Chains A and B, each alone.
Chain A
Amino acid sequence: MAVERFPVEGGHIMMFARAVGDPHPAYHGAITGTPAIAPPTFVWAADHYDPDSAVRPKPDEPWPGSGATHSGAPPADGAGLGLHAEQRYEYHRPVREGDVLSAVDRPGRTWRKEGRRGGALTFTEKITEYRDQEGEPVVTATMVTVTTSTTVGAGG
């Protein structure tokens, strides 16, 4: 993921807080007219601002979900393969409404482990650095995905 501009908006924070079921007033400033604070995992929603996100249907592009048949297009190479095994956030400061974040990925470690039901599991880290409009670090995220020889589909 490379996101040049992720504007942190009060309405988006509200919808995200509703989706995770959190009524804390700090997240609902869009209704009360006060600047909102983002919930801890809000930066996950940066996908909305990734023009190349593979997990969002786009007009005139194939999508793997069902339509006339049970499955549409096969996922693009490398798109959404593997299961989400771990997620880590390090907060340099809270994310707040009005921030305009950018996100840049870099690869982390890769390691292998024998699965409980046989077959090798491959774990892959991806580190994402979220910075504000001054270039200051806000959140460092580490995503760990696991793939097996038998994994079908994607996402955890």
Chain B
Amino acid sequence: MTAVTAGDTRELVLVRDLTRTRIVQYAGASGDFNPVHTDERFAVEAAGYPSVFAHGMLTMGMAGRVLTDWFGPESLLRYEARFRAQVFPGATLTARARVESVHGDGTAAVALTVTDGQDAVVMTGNAVVRASAEAK
């Protein structure tokens, strides 16, 4: 629960030099072992990608931290993501969150952007959070 006003921002580095092992760790935790994420040989030779790539949900999961660190782990009412580009091993991801509006009921709308090391946008998102103790 944090008092915020529109325009407030937070930034968080989600991962530096994303490794294949890290993607496999997420596969194990999430139960999504799709070989495009877990099997370099399949991803390149069978599926035609430059390498394995991260689950979009790994990026969304990592980016959720910028919200929960800010507002608390039980503060989210909505969390939405659009996956704009694939995230490949070696990526360094940074999440930027910005309060778009604060509402009379104590909730706030937050916009999210996740970029890789070259400032390419890989995910955009929106959230509605309880921004004050009065929020229902």
Contacts of A88 in B (CB 8 A): 78-81
Contact B78 A89 (CB under 8 A): yes
Interface of chain A residues 38 through 59 with chain B (CB within 8 A): 39-41, 44-48, 50, 53, 55-57
Tell whether A137 is near chain B: CB-to-CB under 8 Å.
no
**Could you say which interface size class chain B belongs to?**
35 or more
Contacts of B78 in A (CB 8 A): 88-91
Residues of B35-89 contacting chain A, CB below 8 A: 35-39, 41-43, 45-49, 55-58, 60-62, 64-65, 67-69, 73-74, 76-83, 86
B77 adjacent to A91 (CB under 8 Å): yes
A91 touches B76 (CB 8 A): yes
User: Across the A-B interface, how many residue pairs have beta carbons closer than 8 Å?
Assistant: 156
Known A-B contacts A37-B74, A89-B80; the reply to A19 vs B26 at CB < 8 A is yes
Name the prevailing secondary structure of the B interface residues: helix
**A65 in contact with B61 given A20-B26, A89-B79 (CB within 8 Å):** no
Is B34 a contact of A80 with CB atoms below 8 Å? yes
Which residues, 69 to 124 on B, are CB-close (under 8 Å) to A?
Answer: 69, 73-74, 76-83, 86
**Are B61 and A39 touching (Cβ within 8 A)?**
yes
Contact of A19 among B29, B46, B60 (CB under 8 A): B29
Q: How large is the interface on A (under 10, 10 to 19, 20 to 34, 35 or more residues)?
A: 35 or more
Question: Bound complex: CA of A16 vs CA of B47, how far in Å?
Answer: 27
Contact A70 B73 (CB under 8 A): no
Bitwise, A59-100 to B at CB < 8 A (1) or not (0) is 000011110001110000000100111111111001000000
- Interface core residue of B29, B36, B79 (most chain A CB under 10 Å): B29
Q: Is A112 engaged at the interface, CB distance under 8 Å to the other chain?
A: no
Q: Using A19-B25, A70-B42 as known contacts, list a sample of 19 further A-B pairs with CB atoms less than 8 Å apart, ordered by residue number in A.
A: A18-B29, A19-B22, A21-B15, A22-B62, A24-B68, A37-B74, A39-B61, A40-B76, A40-B79, A44-B32, A50-B31, A55-B34, A66-B45, A84-B57, A85-B83, A88-B81, A89-B78, A91-B79, A94-B73
Residues in A neighbouring B58, C-beta threshold 8 A: 19-20
Give B75's nearest chain A residue, CB to CB.
Answer: A94
Q: Interface centre among B15, B32, B55, B86, by most A CB within 10 Å?
A: B32
Binding site for B on A (CB under 8 A): 12, 15-16, 18-22, 24, 26-27, 37, 39-41, 44-48, 50, 53, 55-57, 63-66, 70-72, 80, 83-91, 94, 152-156
